[in-house]
């Protein structure tokens, strides 16, 4: 959300709703945490099983990668492979990750607090 307005909040509410989420899961490759999405909306048994696990979980923990922009995720994986291959490159790896994060920071339109789960709109 670029601007915190009633219309923008209404749109975000729509996107999080069961109808909108169901449209996404029917495409495949997506899982909704909205428990009102019908199980049979998922296109295959694997997707249905993943949805069942999420829906019945008492606690869901997400890793840092789940909140990183895609470009930072890609840089992270590349950096980890490079570091495993040659641990002496730690400083260069950290520098490349910092650069990737700095570049991505300009494209982020919201942030989340990992402790409270609160979403903040700049």
**Across residues 19-35, what is the average pLDDT?**
88
Q: Are 118 and 112 in contact (CB under 8 A)?
A: yes
Query: For the whole model, what pTM was predicted?
Result: 0.51
- DSSP letter assigned to residue 121: -
Domain boundaries, the chain: 6-56, 64-120
pLDDT tens digits, one per residue of 33-65: 788 999 999 999 999 999 998 888 888 777 777
Q: Are strands 111-112 and 119-120 parallel, antiparallel or unpaired?
A: antiparallel
User: Closest by alpha carbon to 35, among 14, 66, 57?
Assistant: 57
**Across residues 105-115, what is the average pLDDT?**
57
pLDDT band per the 50, 70, 90 thresholds, residue 114? low
Q: Are 69 and 107 in contact (CB under 8 A)?
A: yes
pLDDT band per the 50, 70, 90 thresholds, residue 88? very high
Q: Are 105 and 113 in contact (CB under 8 A)?
A: no
């Amino acid at each position: 959300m670029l601007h915190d307005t009633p219309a923008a909040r209404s749109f975000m509410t729509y996107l999080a709703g069961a109808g909108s989420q169901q449209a996404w899961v029917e495409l495949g490759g997506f899982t909704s945490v909205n428990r009102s999405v019908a199980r049979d909306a998922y296109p295959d048994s694997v997707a249905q099983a993943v949805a069942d696990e999420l829906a019945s979980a008492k606690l869901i923990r997400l890793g840092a990668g789940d909140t990183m922009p895609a470009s930072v995720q890609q840089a992270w994986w590349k950096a980890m492979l490079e570091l495993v291959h040659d641990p002496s490159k730690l400083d260069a790896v950290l520098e490349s990750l910092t650069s990737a994060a700095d570049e991505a920071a300009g494209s982020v339109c919201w942030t989340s607090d990992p402790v409270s789960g609160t979403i903040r709109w700049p």
